[in-house]
């Protein structure tokens, strides 16, 4: 999945988040999005998910300007190809981890008879086997974030958007999660777009960085 | 996670709201079915009276056969006359004896000669009977007395009409309450689960996908509420059948089981499902905004 920001400007009322942002994300890339609070990291994720519309410019996915899509079903189709990992997990609290993952698989119309085996696969990938039958309230922060990643991975997404996934984790758990992201990108060739504040993570991997600033932004 | 499993999960997660929705539908269909069965009994009562001779013309003594035949011909000439029965003096005596067979004292002194012959006339249209009564009451030379049950029928008709109309109002109000209750409860449930809906939408679920469990929930309330409402009212009435029928004797107020009951059950379940589905559909349409 190729993602292009073509001169995208986003304002929230009088507040300008970014202006004329241009970037291109090729399939299989691992990209860090960094910048101070309020620089638009989460806004960038929301624009890709078409949760919000740009004030001007276009967000193109595989050449299609998604901000101009009128059909809700087209937007849903795009979202079904994207796995999302949220800082605050966004798991459904009264469903077990297994049921949370199954719900996502059901949404993409995954064959019912293969759902359980797919859940087994992904919980192993994120090292959460033997914990997937628990409810979110019964897991630690690190486990929750891995559960969230397992849900995102389950649908075999073309892109994983991770919005500050390590923000609530201790250092050991955060590094663990980063390693899992790295392995997914390397082995499955899934595009990873991760927003982070942590300069150590960025320096530890030789990956493309999108630096969003108040009035300037750059790609290194 | 399958649709049914998710829907049952929703129902279990808010048991009191679910119980209220179910009880409302159940009560509505209990009343509806109770009323329909009572209404069926009332129709039986009316049919009974309508099928009985509604006018009896007692003849003067000493009329010859030719005169009696001419009266019968005149009665038959009226349109919409259902049945004309001639009760001779002898027949009247045997009927009298049959009616008083347990009291021989009443029958000992009675002979056919002291009982009048009569015509019993029933009609499809009560208006005809009125015309007959008016016409024959002026024929004093052949008619001794006319007994016309108009007042009884009129009173029965007006009571039946009142009961039917009250029943219809009661059912309409109950259906409206069920509709509003399911609509509101689905709205509350949607509000309780808005985070789940938002997350599902973000994961690519279509609007219909997130609506489906709420629609099925409405259908479940409609189905089980109407089924159990029917069964309970049916069981009560049929368990008291012999008692009720004894009270209304000789009229059969609660009739034998027939095709009517399963047909009624099917119609009520269909109606329950329709109410549940339409109320939850409107609720989901109104409240799911994400």
Report the number of distinct structural domains present in chain B: 2
Q: Are B37 and B161 contained in the same domain?
A: yes
Per residue, the 3-state secondary structure of A81-114, as one string, reads CEEEECCCCCCCCCCCHHHHHHHHHHHCCCCHHH
> What are the CA-CA distances from residue B150 to residues B127, B128, B146, B260, B271 (Å)?
10, 11, 12, 31, 39
Q: Is B59 helix (H, G, I), strand (E, B) or coil?
A: strand
Q: In chain B, which residue's Cα lies nearest the Cα of A79?
A: B204
Domain that holds residue B71: 53-148
Q: Are B111 and B89 contained in the same domain?
A: yes
Contact B204 A77 (CB under 8 A): yes
Chain A positions in Cβ-Cβ contact with residue B207 (cut-off 8 Å): 72
**What pTM does this model have?**
0.73
The reported pLDDT for the residue numbered A170 is 82
Are A41 and A212 spatial neighbours (Cβ–Cβ below 8 Å)? yes
Closest by Cβ to A103, choosing from B200, B206, B207: B200
User: pLDDT tens digit string along B58-101?
Assistant: 999 888 888 889 999 999 998 888 889 999 888 888 888 887 77
Closest by Cβ to A84, choosing from B9, B13, B202: B202
Q: Are B158 and B111 contained in the same domain?
A: no
Task: Note the ipTM here.
Answer: 0.85
Q: Are B185 and B42 contained in the same domain?
A: yes
User: pLDDT tens digit string along A148-174?
Assistant: 999 999 999 999 999 988 887 788 888
Outline where A80-212 has alpha helix (H).
97-107, 115-125, 141-154, 171-188, 199-204
Domain boundary among B95, B130, B148: B148
The reported pLDDT for the residue numbered B1 is 66
Domain boundary among B96, B123, B148: B148
Q: Are B202 and B231 contained in the same domain?
A: yes
Contact B9 A79 (CB under 8 A): no
Respond yes or no on whether the N-terminal peptide bond of residue B187 is cis (omega within 30° of 0): no
Q: Are B138 and B102 contained in the same domain?
A: yes
Q: Are B170 and B266 contained in the same domain?
A: yes
Closest by Cβ to A79, choosing from B2, B196, B202: B202
Contact A92 B199 (CB under 8 A): yes
Element housing A209 (H / E): strand A208-212
* CA-based nearest distance A103→chain B, Å: 5
Average pLDDT in the A78-99 region? 91
Per residue, the 3-state secondary structure of B117-136, as one string, reads CEEEEEECCHHHHHHHHHHH
CATH code of A3-219, in short, is: 3.40.50.300
Q: Are B243 and B114 contained in the same domain?
A: no
Q: Are B173 and B206 contained in the same domain?
A: yes
What ranges do the domains of chain A cover? 3-219
> Could you tell me which residues are beta bridge partners of residue A58?
A6
Q: Are B216 and B106 contained in the same domain?
A: no
Are A83 and A153 spatial neighbours (Cβ–Cβ below 8 Å)? yes
Q: Are B108 and B186 contained in the same domain?
A: no
Q: Are B32 and B134 contained in the same domain?
A: no
Residue B215 has pLDDT above 90, yes or no: yes
Contact B206 A108 (CB under 8 A): no
**For residue B252, with 0-12 CB atoms within 10 Å meaning exposed, 13-18 middle and 19 or more buried, which class applies?**
middle
| CATH label of the domain that carries residue B140 | 3.30.70.3040
């Amino acid at each position: 999945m190729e993602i292009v920001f073509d001169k995208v400007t986003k304002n929230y009322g009088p507040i300008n988040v970014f202006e004329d942002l241009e970037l291109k994300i090729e399939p299989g890339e691992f990209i860090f999005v960094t910048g101070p609070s309020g620089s638009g990291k989460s806004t960038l994720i929301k624009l890709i998910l078409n949760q919000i519309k740009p004030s001007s410019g276009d967000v193109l996915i595989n050449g299609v300007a998604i901000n101009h899509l009128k059909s809700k079903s087209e937007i849903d189709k795009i979202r079904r190809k994207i796995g999302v990992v949220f800082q605050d997990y966004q798991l459904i609290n009264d469903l077990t981890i297994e049921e949370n993952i199954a719900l996502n698989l059901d949404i993409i119309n995954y064959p019912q008879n293969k759902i359980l085996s797919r859940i087994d696969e992904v919980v192993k990938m994120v090292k959460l086997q033997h914990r997937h039958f628990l409810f979110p309230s019964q897991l630690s922060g690190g486990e929750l974030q891995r559960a969230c990643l397992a849900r995102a991975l389950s649908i075999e997404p073309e892109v994983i958007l991770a919005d500050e996934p390590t923000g609530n984790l201790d250092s050991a758990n955060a590094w663990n999660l980063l390693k899992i992201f790295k392995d997914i990108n390397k082995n499955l060739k899934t595009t990873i777009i991760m927003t982070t504040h942590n300069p150590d993570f960025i320096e530890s991997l030789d990956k493309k960085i999108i630096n969003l600033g108040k009035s300037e932004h750059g790609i290194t | 996670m399958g649709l049914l499993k998710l829907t049952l999960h929703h129902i279990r997660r808010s048991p009191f709201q679910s119980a209220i929705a179910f009880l409302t539908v159940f009560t509505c269909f209990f009343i509806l079915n109770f009323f329909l069965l009572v209404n069926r009994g009332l129709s039986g009562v009316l049919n009974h009276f309508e099928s009985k001779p509604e006018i009896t013309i007692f003849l003067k003594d000493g009329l010859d056969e030719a005169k009696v035949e001419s009266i019968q011909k005149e009665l038959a000439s009226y349109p919409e006359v259902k049945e004309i029965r001639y009760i001779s003096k002898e027949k009247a005596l045997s009927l009298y004896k049959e009616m008083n067979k347990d009291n021989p004292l009443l029958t000992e002194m009675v002979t056919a000669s002291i009982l009048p012959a009569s015509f019993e006339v029933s009609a499809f249209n009560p208006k005809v009977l009125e015309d007959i009564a008016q016409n024959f009451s002026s024929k004093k030379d052949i008619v001794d007395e006319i007994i016309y049950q108009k007042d009884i029928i009129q009173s029965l008709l007006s009571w039946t009409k009142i009961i039917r109309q009250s029943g219809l109002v009661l059912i309409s109000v109950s259906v409206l309450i069920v509709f509003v209750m399911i609509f509101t409860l689905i709205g509350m449930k949607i509000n309780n689960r808005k985070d789940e809906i938002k997350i599902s939408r973000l994961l690519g679920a279509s609007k219909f996908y997130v609506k489906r469990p709420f629609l099925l929930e409405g259908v479940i309330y409609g189905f089980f509420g109407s089924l159990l409402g029917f069964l309970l009212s049916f069981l009560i009435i049929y368990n008291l059948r012999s008692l009720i029928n004894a009270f209304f004797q000789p009229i059969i107020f609660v009739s034998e089981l027939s095709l009517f009951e399963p047909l009624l059950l099917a119609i009520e379940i269909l109606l329950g499902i329709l109410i549940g589905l339409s109320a939850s559909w409107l609720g989901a349409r109104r409240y799911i905004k994400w």
